[in-house]
Structure formats: C-alpha cells, structure tokens
Amino acid sequence: MNTITAAITAVGAYVPDFVLTNKALETMVDTNDEWITSRTGIKERRILKDEDKGTSFLAVKAAQDLLAKANIDPLEIDLLIMATATPDMPVAATGVYVATQIGATNAFAYDLQAACSSFLFGMSTAAAYIESGRYKKVLLIGADKMSSIVDYTDRSTCIIFGDGAGAVLFEPNYEGLGLQDEYLRSDGIGRDFLKIDAGGSLNPTTLQTVKDNKHNIIQDGKTVFKYAVTNMADSSELILKRNNLTNEDVDWLVPHQANKRIIDATANRMNLEDSKVLMNIEKYGNTTSATLPLVLSDFEHLFKKGDVIILAAFGGGFTWGSIYLKWAYDKK
C-alpha cells in the first residue's frame, strides 16, 4: 500500500469589510502612522463591527468560501478542527456550531487553542488524522475576532490585532506531497507575558474583574518580541537542517503575521530573499489563528504543485514551531 501523506487541497478566507487604519488609531490612542508602520509593518486591520456576531461568523464565511471554490459537498467532511483563541463562548465548542452551520453534519468537530500557534498546531493534528487512514477530508479553520478582547485605549495591543478567518482542506495524497515534517514546541514560561487575566477557572468573572478591565489581552511586548524572534527563527532553521534543505530549495516562507521585524529576522536566519517571504500584515495586522491560512489564500495563485513551503508561528503560552509542506496542486 502506498504511504499516505496529508496534503492541502483547497483554501478559503474571509475578512470583515470595516477597515481600521493607522490614521484612525491616531484619534484613539497616542500613536501615529509612522510609529506603527516602522515597528510592526501594519497599515490597517479588519474589524467585525457587528456586536451580535462572533468568531463563528468569520469561520463560517471562510469555510463557505472554500467549499464553493472547491465545489465540495459539506456532507463529505469527516472532521472540522476550529483553531481559535476567541471562541464564541467558553463552553459549547465553536467548531461544533460552525460544522452545523455549514452543513457538515457528518463531521465531528472541536476547538484547538494554542494562541497564535493554533493553526500551525492544527495542521499537525489534521495531518495525523489523514495519515491514520481513518478520515479522508479534514477541514481546518483558523479564525479570531481579536477586537472582542482588545482594549482600544491600550496602545501596545490595539495597533496590532485584527479580525479574520481562513480555512484549508486536508486530504490523502499518494505522491509524497503535503506535510513532510514538523517541529513544534511550547514553554509555560510565557504564561505571564501574553494573557487575559480573568474569565477562566483561576480568576473567574466578577463585577470587580470587569471593573478592573481584566478581560482584555495584555502583553509584555519586549519579552514577547524577544522570544518570538529567537524561537520562530530557530525552528525554521532547524526544520531546514533536519530535512537537508537549503535556502535555494525553499520556494516560500509563510510566517505568522505578528510583526514585520519578527518575519524579517526569521527570513534572515533562513537566508531567504525577500521575494520568497509572503506577507499581508500591512492589510490585516495580527489575526492570531487566521494569519497563516489568510496568507495561503492571498498567495494561492503563486503556488505550484511541488513547491516547498515553510510555515512558522509563535504564540502566547509560549507556543511555537515550523512545518515543512510540499504544495499539492496548481490553482485552476
């Protein structure tokens, strides 16, 4: 029997219509366009303004985009994995609701949370299900409504995050394409540097936690930046060495879109030319679980069957890693 590998066979994406520009942020906090651009590479981000819509709305839209483009019956989906740091609610998995909403009623579904590494870790999980031979179609969605946990008076976070969703379909491949190798890591030292203080079992919601603004994301920017630069670059370099790949072998780097300086450091460590480094951070900011699939969607037209792609991410916790993927199709 031929070896089964897990390949991405379709992608989809969705971002809200409302654009929050750097100029608009100048009227909200003490910042300016030049400062934001030079330090992050972000020019604008998309925001889901509807108060009655959550992350599931974004995820459903991205999934529907994928299903329509690939002409796939949602009843064929075996499993839906929802990578998100902002589920609709703490209990009742968002992925379960999304599966029902898109008509994937033959699938089982669940949520996966590893902060900004959620989608990368989800790729590993989806691939394992495919490689087991038990499932044929696994839909992995990365979606976050970061505006729901951002304090728009906090300059250190409100300039960074945006809302969005992306989706990929994993299917069996018998040509040796798809996911080739992974290097995934985590370290609980990061627990204090990027977090939401209240709302969990350690510090449940009270009137006081709401009054004290303990339900929005906070970060120690300098510490997070230092760890992100080191670990994203290290893991990407390691995945190349472990697979005897050189910078010439790599066709594309798909990095988590958190900060252009982190992306540049990773590319420099890999000795990659700028044309191979894919970025859309200027348009969307950091959409957390959605950054990697949004890049895949935006640049799908460039990918050729057999292209070597390195994906890398870093997230709160800390969580990080890299995946070596061979692209499985030419866009029609």
Identified catalytic residue from 116, 158, 173, 231: 116
Rg of the chain, C-alpha, whole Å: 19
Identified catalytic residue from 158, 173, 231, 256: 256
Positive or negative, the CA dihedral 244, 249, 251, 257 is positive
3-state secondary structure of 318: coil
User: For 276, phi and psi rounded to 5 degrees?
Assistant: -95, -5
Check residue 301 and report its DSSP letter.
G
Residues 6+ apart with CB under 8 A from 214: 196, 197, 198, 199, 203
Crossing angle of helices 291-298 and 118-131, rounded to 10°: 80
215 tagged catalytic: no
- On whether the CB atoms of residues 45 and 20 are closer than 8 A, the answer is yes
Identified catalytic residue from 22, 231, 259, 286: 286
256 tagged catalytic: yes
286 tagged catalytic: yes
* Residue indicated by tokens 């900011």: 285
Beta bridge partners of 185: 320
In the chain, DSSP finds a helix count (H) and a strand count (E) of: 11, 13
Catalytic residues: 116, 256, 286
